[in-house]
Structure 1
Amino acid sequence: MGMQYDSNEIAGILPHRYPFALVDKIVDGEPGQWAKGVKCVTVNEPFFQGHFPGKHVMPGVLLIEAMAQVGGVAILALPENRGKLAFLGRVKDARFKRQVVPGDVVEMECRLTRRRGPIGVGECTATVNGEIVVTAEITFAISSAEA
């Protein structure tokens, strides 16, 4: 097993806080290379108030954001990137295959495939019970927190 972080440790790497902290734990990975994270979806998520009343479905854009946060942990866990921010630059080829509902445990993996200076690309996949929920290529830019 590689990287493992609980929610408190993730908060030391990522700036996201409630209601936008979308990764409950990191279960494996290698800094600068890849990370695997988990989101346990509950009916108490604030977005279910409006998405949708009577038919709770996790918004696809939040699934993309959750995958990006897993990738953010992978890149920001490098010692030279601690305290920096990873901004979402582009989402390419997002494919949604299944809805995510309360009770689902979403497992997300982001593999960093290219990096040139502060710009990088991650190949991301989210699954529930081994079934693909969404795949996407995510481009990010690393910046100092002061910028």
Structure 2
Amino acid sequence: MSGCLEVSERASCVVVPHHAQAAGLARRRVAVELSPRLGPETLADVTAIVSELVGNAVLHARPLPDGGVRVAWQVGPQSIELRVTDGGAVELPHVRRVGPESLNGRGLSIVAALSDRWGVVRDGLGQCVWAELRHAA
């Protein structure tokens, strides 16, 4: 697709608007694209991670110059990589410690729990938060 971050030749992506409905739009698109290729448990983890990362991008970061947030995914033989790219924020994304009464602040804790590894890459355009999960081939 045009305007997508090229993770590899076989990567797919979608650009969603930088607004409150973005996480739901991205989650539905990823679910439709990946449901034939992933088992239900892995698909549930993938859509939860996408939802959290896009929600964080909308809440904490600026949009990309085109006004959107880019969501890319690549399914390999044993793992799937997810990337959410936004225009960046003042602070790097990090896991926060929150109490049981807190209403928010658990997004990256969820990503860390569901993925095998995750991280943040910054470049001149913004930042990309990525996560990788193993899956059964």
| Range class of TM-score, shorter chain | 0.3 to 0.5
With the length of structure 1 as denominator, give the TM-score of the two structures. 0.32
More helix as a share of residues: 2
